[in-house]
Amino acid sequence: MNKLFWYVLIFAAIVTYFYVGYSVSSHWEAAVKYGQKVTNDTSGNQTPLLNLKDTRQGDFYVTIDTVQNRKYFRVVGLTSDSLLCINYGKDADVLPQILEYSSHIVSKGLFIDKRINWVDELMKNRDNFNDRLHLLGRKEIDSLLHTQKVIGFQLNDANYYTPEYNFMFKYTLAYPSILGLVILVFLVLIFIFEKIISIIPTKKKHLVRYIVVLSSSLLYAIFNVHYMGFSHLYNNMWHGYIFIFISHSLVFFLFRFISGKISQKDFEVREFIKFITIIFSGVIFQFIFKLISIFILEEFYRYDNEFSNVFFITLQQAFKFWIAIATANFLHNLILYIYTLRRKSKQLQAVTSDAQISVDALQQSEANVNTHFLYNSLHAIAALAPVSPDKTETLALSLAKYYRYTTNRNDEIWITIKDEAEALTAYLQVEKIRMGEKLIFAFNISDDVSGVKIPKFLLQPLVENALKYGYHSEDDSTKINILAIKMDDETLKISVCDSGKPFDDTMQIGTGINNVKDQLKRFYPDGHSISFVNEPVKCVEIELRNTNERL
């Protein structure tokens, strides 16, 4: 399937839950915005609360007389001489048949019908009330209460509850803003947790991970039982700690097990499976342990119709918690995945750029070598042709061999030491015909390094320098020795030695050596060294590390 399909499933689940949470929370806000305005009499029975002391601006009342005629009015305020100022309503037909505070008008919405509190709907529209003001004194209020049925409604005070209660109440109703905040907190905690795990030695990572998760589950169990006022099934009892701790720990163990089983699948498939695993295993495990609480530990508490409500309560409590965990985990992994892709993209761009630079530099270096070498060789052929036809033929054949070798491999960047040695041998043979017996060269390459690959023409500038500066006046000769040995399993040492004058402190680095240094920096940025030694023999020594990758 298309990768986008799995992402759509995950984001659709998240968006759907947020939409449902928004709908439920907004419906609940509408339903409880106005509550019935009642008080208790001396017998404990509820009576309508309508008096000069407790009635306030914004209260709403409905009156029903003995023949079921209904009227309504709103409270405008209290005058300075203690009279209640009200506006009567215009048309009683706007009142619903059932005058409960939970009654609401229903209109169609997207998937979920929109519910509006009927009292709030009436109060918002000023056209529902007459402009004329009526004043009610104590006698008028008492008469109204004795002759008619009065049903009062008041605007619930949002500041009535403590901030902690309001927060937990909104969390229980899955307010999108609260759920988003919870997801953000979990996301930050996961980032911190994974950052800490990343700096721990590999052998201890699994142990630390389990310790931290189990400890967090225990702390959450304590918090849930003591402070989550809507987790009343546990009722602050000892088994609440155990059941929450075990259920959350089981989710983690199942999550780790499934993560290991699907590690080879594509990222989007892995994340979808993890997302579903966290949510469903979390809800199922909590549901199972709440059933155990009801059947096995029933003597600890007893609620009416508890079994019939347990699934709804579990779904309402557990689902939002686990979807927050699953969403935070998915977003964490998605952010890291995107970051990794961007980093790999930059690395690929850098490698591609370096490779292109390397190819260009190699082609330029090869062109310089070929041009310089060809120029000298052709001059040698021209000089030898009149006096030594045999040497001219040998020189021409050696030159052809060398150029056939180089032109057949122009598309290569890496070449084995054995092939590089063969190219250098053909090169030196041409030079030996031109220079005669004054040139002496040898290759000492051990069998265990002959297959190691190095950048093409890496050694050519060093050999050219040896030819140029390797002349020994006392012997009237130029001796060149090229060695390649392994220092250890990952380090290769190549030496180009000659019989010329020792290196001195004022030695000027030419173009050839600079080209070699540039190649080493490009191909072995952190794994090379080049040095100029005079003892026991004058040599340019190159050490290359991590060469086992080029075997």
The domain locations on the chain are 34-155, 162-348, 385-550
- Joined tokens for residue 16: 């759907």
Which candidate, 546, 515, 369, 525, places its Cα nearest to that of 453?
Answer: 546
| CATH class of residue range 385-550 | alpha beta
Q: Parallel, antiparallel, or unpaired: how do β-strands 477-486 and 439-445 relate?
A: parallel
CB-CB neighbours of 477 under 10 Å: 16
If one counts every other C-beta atom within 10 angstroms of the C-beta of residue 549, the result is 10
How far apart, in whole angstroms, are the C-alpha atoms of residue 363 and residue 355?
12
Whole-number Å distance between alpha carbons of 52 and 140: 11
Structure tokens at 447: 């069998």
DSSP state of 255: H
Q: How far apart are the first and last CA of the chain?
A: 39
Spell out the per-residue pLDDT of the chain, length 551, in tens: 577 778 888 888 888 777 777 777 777 777 777 888 888 766 767 778 888 888 888 899 999 998 889 999 999 998 888 899 999 999 988 898 888 766 777 766 666 667 778 888 888 888 899 989 999 998 998 888 888 999 999 887 654 556 666 666 666 666 777 788 888 988 998 888 888 877 877 777 778 888 888 888 788 777 766 655 444 444 545 666 777 788 888 888 888 888 888 877 888 888 888 988 988 888 888 777 777 766 665 544 444 455 555 666 666 677 788 888 888 888 888 888 888 888 877 766 765 665 555 555 555 545 445 566 666 666 666 666 676 676 677 777 777 766 666 665 555 778 889 888 888 888 888 888 778 888 999 999 988 888 888 888 789 889 988 988 898 888 889 999 999 998 887 889 999 999 999 988 877 788 788 888 888 888 888 788 999 998 889 999 999 987 665 55
Tokens of 141: 């209020």
Position 310 scores a pLDDT of: 60
Residue pair 507/479 in contact (Cβ under 8 Å)? The answer is no
Q: Which residues contact 55 (CB under 8 A, 6 or more apart)?
A: 49, 75, 78, 84
DSSP per residue over 158-216, as a string? Answer: TTSS-HHHHHHHHHHTT-HHHHHHHHHHHHHHHHHHHHHHHTS-HHHHHHHHHHHHHHH
Q: What angle do CA 75, 81, 83 make, to 5 degrees?
A: 30
| pLDDT for position 222 | 73
